[in-house]
Amino acid sequence: MPTLTIDGREITVEPGTRIIEAADRLGIDIPRFCYHPGLPVAGNCRMCLVDTNKSPKPVAACWDPCQDGHVVTTNSPRVLEARRAVLEYILLHHPVDCPICDQAGECDLQDLYFAHDHRPSRHFFTKNHKAKQRALGPQIVYDAERCINCTRCIRVCDEIAKAPQLVQVQRGERTYIDVFPGTQLDHPYSMCTADVCPVGALTTRDFRFKCRAWLTHGIDTVCGECSRGCAIRADVYRNEVQRLVPRHDPEVNGYWACDAGRLAYHRFEAGRLEAARVAGAPAPYAQAVREAAEALPGAATGGVAVVLTPWMTCEDAAAVVAMVRSAAPGAVFAVGGAAAGQADSVLVKADKNPNHAGLRRVLEAAGVVLVPVDEVVARAPSLAALVVLGTEHAQADALAAALRQAPLSIAVAALDGPLAGAARIAFPGLSPYETDGTWVNEAGLSRRVRQALVPPAEARGYGTWASDLADRMGRPLAGGDAAAGKGA
């Protein structure tokens, strides 16, 4: 276990730890471009040069392993001058088009220039011109002039996505990144290349020119597109999600997220059910609650079926189960959800619902015995009431038909569609970006979903809806359940 000193502070690390990792642990900032904690070390940008007592010249902190008795200095005049020189070299042919560059505001080159160089260029020749706005794939646009050839993107493709699609072409100052001839950058993690890009060379088509980075505020939440439950940050501006970017969660997704999950927010941008509907006509939320609360207890003797969704949070599920049971003790429950899809060996899971595990736990704790959705559909004509929560059901059409057959049919739906159209009483629900609560992923790890957007005025979460209904029926949810429901 080597013990070394960085800027006068001692640290003991495992053998093989790089100096930059040890410095990160101490909270000492060493500037870097090519080093990324989730990627193998390349050591090509030379930005992380530090002085050590074991070498006559500054060494790259991302490459040199810690040795016993190492004395590292990260801020000596020689190191600072080396950084300036490296930055000047990197900026030689950089177009400095920050006003039209999407990375401006979150650009490592911009930040480090202001922190370490901050002097005008001495380069008086014509700058090299390279390819601009080159589409490398369906999601990624490449600007070769801005590129500093740190090769992070190449390493993401090689090591994370296991799809070696990018390559460095040419040499020296003519170097640029490209795909192999006749191919394109189209693996399911291609947008991660834009995340790791320290400059504005790689931009995603999704976020390109949409909003400036400094205008957004990030909400830490969870991706719902599969049961992996990747940690993501929703960047919001003017109550619209502008982009989703992966967050670091070592137990779940590392630093990465798939393209499908990051583009999923578009689904909730249009086609929302904005207001409640009673018998096909728009109605105030309060009136819909009143109608449902009056009809539901009456239907209890004739058989009530509730189709839950594995997109609801654990808190919402507990509140809904408590409400339904107090209104109709004999109600049967089923869990719908999106159909299983393709899995891969990196992150994507086959189960395309975020909270199957959490829902299972809540229902087990409540002692609910589930019936299959098909059975609910088959029994629909004999039911007195059918409640369908959510819209992301694989059997949505069958459920819509079942809703039409049941005498009392209630749907809670964020999106307008066959289910909201078929139900006698339809309540506007929340999208996952308007929800607060807990999801449990396939590995059994519970992660917090946070509200990023202000929902439409009439829309309510499942928990709040259940609580409102219970209040109206004169059977308020008991302490814990009610609190859980109100929170959503």
Partner 1 sequence: MVKVKVVERPPADLVVQSWVPELWKGMKVTGRHFFRNVLTGKGIVTSQYPEARRPYPPRYRGKHRLMRREDGSVRCVACFMCSTACPADCIRIVAGERGDENEKYPVVFEVDFIKCVFCGMCEEACPCDAIRLDSGVHRVPAYTRADELSGKEDLLSLGTLSVSRQGGEFK
Contact with partner 1 (CB under 8 A) among 26, 214, 341, 445: 214
Nearer to partner 1, 154 or 199 (CB): 199
CA–CA distance, 22 with 72 (Å, rounded to integer): 11
How many beta carbons lie within 10 A of that of residue 239, not counting itself? Answer: 10
Nearer to partner 1, 132 or 448 (CB): 132
Nearer to partner 1, 207 or 462 (CB): 207
**133 counts as binding partner 1 under rule CB under 8 A:** yes
Could you give the count of Cα atoms lying within 13 Å of 6 in the half-sphere of its Cβ? 23
| The one segment of 13-21, 51-59, 93-101, 454-462 that binds partner 1 by CB under 8 A | 93-101
Instruction: For the segment 110-129, give every residue that binds partner 1 (CB under 8 A).
Output: 120-121
**100 counts as binding partner 1 under rule CB under 8 A:** yes
What torsion do the CA atoms of 199, 202, 205, 211 make, to the nearest 10 degrees? 0
C-alpha angle 116-97-236 in degrees, rounded to nearest 5: 90
Residue 79 burial (10 A CB sphere; 0-12, 13-18, 19+): buried
Nearer to partner 1, 212 or 475 (CB): 212
Contact with partner 1 (CB under 8 A) among 212, 290, 360, 486: 212
Q: How many residues bind partner 1 (CB under 8 A)?
A: 15
Question: CA of 193: how far to CAs of 5, 58, 204, 230, in Å?
Answer: 34, 30, 9, 17
**269 counts as binding partner 1 under rule CB under 8 A:** no
**Minimum distance, C-beta of residue 212 to partner 1, in the bound complex (Å):** 4
Contact with partner 1 (CB under 8 A) among 14, 68, 81, 97: 97
DSSP readout, 303-372? -EEEEE-TTS-HHHHHHHHHHHHHH-TT-EEEE--PPP----SSS--S---S-HHHHHHHHHHHTPPB--
Nearer to partner 1, 16 or 120 (CB): 120
Contact with partner 1 (CB under 8 A) among 16, 56, 99, 474: 99
| The one segment of 208-216, 266-274, 298-306, 457-465 that binds partner 1 by CB under 8 A | 208-216
**132 counts as binding partner 1 under rule CB under 8 A:** yes
- Residue matched to tokens 């909003």: 211
How many beta carbons lie within 10 A of that of residue 406, not counting itself? Answer: 27
**Minimum distance, C-beta of residue 308 to partner 1, in the bound complex (Å):** 40
Pair 453, 431: CB distance under 8 Å? yes
Pair 485, 315: CB distance under 8 Å? yes
Pair 440, 317: CB distance under 8 Å? no
User: What is the separation of C-alpha 441 from the centre of its chain, rounded to a whole number of angstroms?
Assistant: 14
| The one segment of 10-18, 97-105, 413-421, 462-470 that binds partner 1 by CB under 8 A | 97-105
| The one segment of 12-20, 95-103, 334-342, 400-408 that binds partner 1 by CB under 8 A | 95-103
**Minimum distance, C-beta of residue 252 to partner 1, in the bound complex (Å):** 33
Nearer to partner 1, 121 or 239 (CB): 121
Instruction: For the segment 319-358, give every residue that binds partner 1 (CB under 8 A).
Output: none
**Minimum distance, C-beta of residue 88 to partner 1, in the bound complex (Å):** 14
Contact with partner 1 (CB under 8 A) among 84, 127, 134, 210: 210
Contact with partner 1 (CB under 8 A) among 26, 169, 215, 365: 215
| The one segment of 212-220, 268-276, 312-320, 350-358 that binds partner 1 by CB under 8 A | 212-220
Nearer to partner 1, 211 or 219 (CB): 211
**Minimum distance, C-beta of residue 132 to partner 1, in the bound complex (Å):** 7
Q: Which residues of 92-104 are buried (b: 16+ CB within 10 A; e: fewer)?
A: ebbbeebeebbbb
| The one segment of 98-106, 180-188, 335-343, 421-429 that binds partner 1 by CB under 8 A | 98-106
Sequence length of the chain is 488
Nearer to partner 1, 208 or 290 (CB): 208
Residue type (1 letter), 31: P
Question: CA of 161: how far to CAs of 190, 239, 257, in Å?
Answer: 8, 32, 10
Pair 37, 255: CB distance under 8 Å? yes
Nearer to partner 1, 93 or 424 (CB): 93
Residue type (1 letter), 451: Q
**Minimum distance, C-beta of residue 207 to partner 1, in the bound complex (Å):** 11
CA–CA distance, 475 with 463 (Å, rounded to integer): 15
Q: Which residues of 256-269 are buried (b: 16+ CB within 10 A; e: fewer)?
A: bbbbbbbbbbeebe
Nearer to partner 1, 102 or 316 (CB): 102
Contact with partner 1 (CB under 8 A) among 12, 29, 68, 209: 209
User: What is the separation of C-alpha 263 from the centre of its chain, rounded to a whole number of angstroms?
Assistant: 9
Nearer to partner 1, 180 or 214 (CB): 214
**454 counts as binding partner 1 under rule CB under 8 A:** no
Point out which residues bind partner 1 (CB under 8 A): 97, 99-100, 104, 120-121, 132-133, 208-212, 214-215
